[in-house]
Structure formats: C-alpha cells, structure tokens
Amino acid sequence: MADNNVSEIMIRVNYSETDRMGVAYHGRYPVWFDMARTEHLRRTGVAYRELEDGGLLLTVSELQVRYRRGAEYDDLVRVRCWVREVATRRVTFGYVVEHAGRGDILATGMTSLIAVNRDFGVVHLPADLKDALCAIPDPVRI
C-alpha cells in the first residue's frame, strides 16, 4: 500500500461514535469515507469546496461497506482512500479502514459519485478534474 496514489487519514474513535456494543456504530464508516475522500481530493490538488463554489457537485450514487471487525472506543484507525475508476460523469473511490496499532483490516468499502450541477442535473466531469483523478487497481480486495 505504499502507492503514491493511496492517501490516508487517522481517526480517533470518539464516544459519540460508539454504540451500545461499545464499538463504532456501523453508520459512521460512510462519514469516515467522506473525510478520507475529501483529503484524497485535496492531496491530488482538488479542493472540493471550490468545486462546489464553482457549481460542480459530486453526489453519492452508491455506497458499499464490508465490516470485518469492530473499532473500539478510543481506538486509532487509519482510513486509506484511492480512486478506483473515472468515467464520463462518475468517479468511484475505494477505502480500507485499518486498526492503526494492530494493522488489521476492520472494513473495506466503495462509493460512486456522480457529477451534477446545482439543480442536480447530471453533467460531465471537467477534463482537469478527470486528469487529476488517477485510478489505480484496488490495493486490497473490497
């Protein structure tokens, strides 16, 4: 996973994210993916906020998560993110969530995002954005 096209963020599991089982609620993973995706875009030179301010929105059209093991309260987790595929109007990201201390995989996932304008009409991804997004083979099986 030493690929230059895989970025990573670290997240400390907060009390607000835990549930009655004592682990991070499964619905938090899509948020972690979102945080990782934003930083991945930033690292490739794309400030998503500026895209939106310019009228281009990326709206999530598909989400998949496979959970292998829970992230406990106060655990430090690493979320790696990469671009899986870039199409005319859609970009797909892959994610893996790992326990930072032990290194084992807690979950994997993907999201597809569609380019839309402010009225939610589907549009083409701008050429410069497509160029910035470098799709790679999945470094781990999702």
Binding site for its own copies (CB under 8 A): 12, 14-16, 18-22, 25-27, 29-31, 34-35, 38, 47-49, 52, 57, 59-67, 69-70, 73-74, 120
Nearer CB in complex with its own copies: 5/39: 39
What is the smallest separation between the CB atom of 1 and its own copies, expressed in angstroms?
A: 23
Residue number with CB closer to its own copies (41 or 127): 41
Nearer to its own copies (CB atom), residue 3 or residue 14: 14
How many angstroms separate the CA atoms of 96 and 110, rounded?
Answer: 9
Q: How far is the CB of 78 from its own copies (least distance, A)?
A: 16
Instruction: Give me the least distance between CB of 16 and its own copies, in Å please.
Output: 5
Q: 3 or 42: whose CB is closer to its own copies?
A: 42
In the bound state with its own copies, the residue whose beta carbon lies nearer, of 119 and 127, is 119
Q: What is the 3-state secondary structure (H, E, C) of the chain?
A: CCCCCCEEEEEECCHHHECCCCEECHHHHHHHHHHHHHHHHHHCCCCHHHHHHCCCEEEEEEEEEEECCCCECCCEEEEEEEEEEECCCEEEEEEEEEECCCCCEEEEEEEEEEEECCCCCECCCCHHHHHHCCECCCCCCC
**Least distance from its own copies to the Cβ atom of residue 133, Å:** 18
**Least Å distance between CB 52 and its own copies?**
7
Token digits for 128? 């410069």
**The amino acid at 35:** M
